[in-house]
Chain A
Amino acid sequence: MKKVIVPIGPYHSLFEEPEYFALYCDGERVVDIEWMAGYNHRGIEKLSESKHWDQVTFLIERICGICSTSHPIAYCNAVEDLAKIEIPERAKYIRSIVGELERLHSHLLWVGLAGHFLGYNTVFMWAWKYREPILDIMEMVTGNRNHYAMMKIGGVRRDIENEDIDIIKKILDELKGKLEMLTGAVLDDPVLAARLKGVGVLTKQDIKDYGAVGPVARASGVDIDVRRDNPHAAYNLVEWKVITCQDGDVFSKAVVRLLECFESIKIIEQSLVRLKKIKGDIAIEVRYIPSGEGIGRYEAPRGECYHYVRSDGTSRPVRHKIRAPSYVNIPTFKASCIGETIADVTIILAGIDPCYCCTERAITVYDADTRKKLFDGKDLMKLSQEKTRKIKKQLGFKEK
């Protein structure tokens, strides 16, 4: 059988980020898919080991621009787990509010992009228009539209004033009506339903095999959510529910994300009411991080975000391991894309809301027995250049 390879990337107009996919096709059908990463790798885990505990929050915020408060919350959870710190109640509510505002803007962003990929630019413009008021709230509360710098070991950095709470409430009330309209328009649209229903189906077993997390797992009927399963911040203090769907196709993923927006608004509204009554500090002072290990988890908009830190009692982490949700969600393409047509693969690739800058890894070659480092990128390049020089010499070219 003859196979045709359709390359997507690394710089493709479909992607925001540099990324390479090879689709092996037989006619219109995709028979295999390959993914290559590493274009965005910045070496954050290594950089983190050279920074002070407090500085790390600013660095890991810049892992990803969309989940830029999920990583700091997971990291703070990890360090607080290590040092056995309980944060003040006021800080808990503020963490939840900022986290849920981020989820709102991230899900709206996905709905817009999904509409754009399907050729429904109206959805794109609508969703991004309704996303702007959320960014306005963020700018008012944290001082920046993205990269909020709100999280800190032992609490939060900035307080939410009582005067701001009324303005936030007003903006959210206006947003709710618009969101209902958008949700109705997207879910009732016959063309979108025809394009999305039954496309890129992931069964419950697929989710378990690949270990997928977040809205991708919940759309296939796997009921997992770190906010409920591993309570932190104020998630066990307010009323909300986990949204699940049973079908596992791209349409279910859209349903889960759109309905989650309403749950987020519910959490924010309850937190704001409580925040008005609670007095007290927003952070406790942490002077010393003892030696030990800590694990922190947070339900980022894309799924479970996991951080591990190890300390030897100095002012820097010895090891900081990060696992972002897209890292486990991307391999599900093997199950969802194969057998579909090329035209559908686009939306399946976008369906898990992939974030490649969270996912990037680099390769280093180690000796299996001695654990000695053999090669990394620079060494391999040096090796190649040396060979060129050697061949030049053999062929009689002069060294410059």
Chain B
Amino acid sequence: MAIDLKTKALKKSLFVFHLSTGSCNNCDIEILDCLTPRFDIERFGMVLVGSVKHADVLLVTGIGTIKNAERIKKLYEQMPKPGFVVAIGACACTGGIFKEGYQMAGPIDKIIPVDVYIPGCPPKPEAMIAGIVKLLEKIK
């Protein structure tokens, strides 16, 4: 029952935390773009929060670099559950162009479990919104 109530509340307003783990900055800027007047995801109740401890959704961009891998795990553990992980961009989904690099610790799903993948380099803000809508369907 408690979990049901939690997921029901979750559907109404997702708090997202943005985690850049060795990206080229572009997906990060497109995430910020979602908050600005043209796309304005705040009308769906989504807010970008400053601490992972307040977040329901972890938006991960970029390849997981060796230096970051441990920190990604730690941040994932700190996120209150039920929480969801969204991998944004080609790097986070598969490794992209950096796949053969010596600093690659693996795509994000090798480090932490991922719920939704949004491919693209970078994905358009529309694609990100569509991805989050799919996540909402998954929660239901």
Across the interface, do A68 and B26 meet the contact criterion of CB distance under 8 Å?
A: yes
> Quick one: CB contact mask for B5-33 with A, threshold 8 Å, 1 for yes?
00000000000000111111111111011
Central interface residue in A47, A62, A64, A109, by most chain B CB within 10 Å: A62
> Quick one: CB contact mask for B29-62 with A, threshold 8 Å, 1 for yes?
1101100111000000000011110000000001
| Contact flag A40-B65 (CB < 8 Å), given A13-B50, A68-B26, A125-B37 | yes
Write out the residue numbers on chain B whose beta carbons fall within 8 Å of the beta carbon of A43: 98, 101-103
Write out the residue numbers on chain B whose beta carbons fall within 8 Å of the beta carbon of A59: 97
A188 to B96 Cα, complex, angstroms: 45
Across the interface, do A65 and B20 meet the contact criterion of CB distance under 8 Å?
A: no
Q: Which of A47, A124, A147, A357 is close to B101, meaning CB atoms less than 8 Å apart? A: A47
| Contact flag A17-B37 (CB < 8 Å), given A38-B67, A41-B65, A58-B97 | no
Across the interface, do A62 and B24 meet the contact criterion of CB distance under 8 Å?
A: yes
CB distance from B131 to the nearest CB of A (A): 16
CB nearest to A18 among chain B residues: B20
Across the interface, do A42 and B63 meet the contact criterion of CB distance under 8 Å?
A: yes
A68 to B97 Cα, complex, angstroms: 15
In the assembled complex, B122 has its CB within 8 A of some CB on chain A: yes
Size class of the B contact interface (CB-based, 8 Å): 35 or more
Across the interface, do A65 and B102 meet the contact criterion of CB distance under 8 Å?
A: no
Write out the residue numbers on chain B whose beta carbons fall within 8 Å of the beta carbon of A16: 20, 25, 28-29, 32
Which parts of A66-118 form the interface with B (CB within 8 Å)? 66, 68, 109, 112
A98 to B96 Cα, complex, angstroms: 25
Number of A-B residue pairs, CB cutoff 8 Å, is 114
Across the interface, do A65 and B27 meet the contact criterion of CB distance under 8 Å?
A: yes
CB distance from B57 to the nearest CB of A (A): 15
In the assembled complex, B111 has its CB within 8 A of some CB on chain A: no
Write out the residue numbers on chain B whose beta carbons fall within 8 Å of the beta carbon of A112: 36
In the assembled complex, A390 has its CB within 8 A of some CB on chain B: no
Across the interface, do B101 and A46 meet the contact criterion of CB distance under 8 Å?
A: yes
Write out the residue numbers on chain A whose beta carbons fall within 8 Å of the beta carbon of B24: 62-65, 68, 357
> Quick one: CB contact mask for A34-66 with B, threshold 8 Å, 1 for yes?
000011111110110010000000110011111
Write out the residue numbers on chain B whose beta carbons fall within 8 Å of the beta carbon of A63: 24
Across the interface, do A357 and B30 meet the contact criterion of CB distance under 8 Å?
A: no
Main secondary structure of the interface of A (DSSP, over half): loop
Across the interface, do A42 and B103 meet the contact criterion of CB distance under 8 Å?
A: yes
Central interface residue in A11, A39, A128, by most chain B CB within 10 Å: A11
In the assembled complex, A129 has its CB within 8 A of some CB on chain B: yes
CB distance from B23 to the nearest CB of A (A): 7
In the assembled complex, A167 has its CB within 8 A of some CB on chain B: no
In the assembled complex, A246 has its CB within 8 A of some CB on chain B: no
Which parts of A304-335 form the interface with B (CB within 8 Å)? none
Across the interface, do B63 and A357 meet the contact criterion of CB distance under 8 Å?
A: no
CB nearest to B62 among chain A residues: A40
Central interface residue in A42, A43, A68, A109, by most chain B CB within 10 Å: A42
Q: Which of A11, A17, A41 is close to B25, meaning CB atoms less than 8 Å apart? A: A17
In the assembled complex, A377 has its CB within 8 A of some CB on chain B: yes
Q: Which of A11, A13, A41, A125 is close to B22, meaning CB atoms less than 8 Å apart? A: A41
Q: Which of B26, B97, B101 is close to A146, meaning CB atoms less than 8 Å apart? A: B26
Across the interface, do B103 and A362 meet the contact criterion of CB distance under 8 Å?
A: yes
Q: Kindly list the 3 A-B residue pairs having the minimum CB-CB distance in the complex, ordered from nearest.
A: A65-B26, A13-B50, A128-B36
Give residues in B with beta carbon < 8 Å to A. Answer: 19-30, 32-33, 36-38, 49-52, 62-63, 65-68, 71, 75, 96-98, 100-104, 121-122, 124
Known: A68-B26, A132-B36. 18 other contacts (CB 8 A): A11-B71, A13-B50, A16-B29, A18-B68, A39-B22, A39-B67, A40-B20, A40-B65, A46-B102, A47-B100, A50-B100, A62-B24, A62-B26, A63-B24, A68-B24, A129-B37, A145-B30, A378-B66
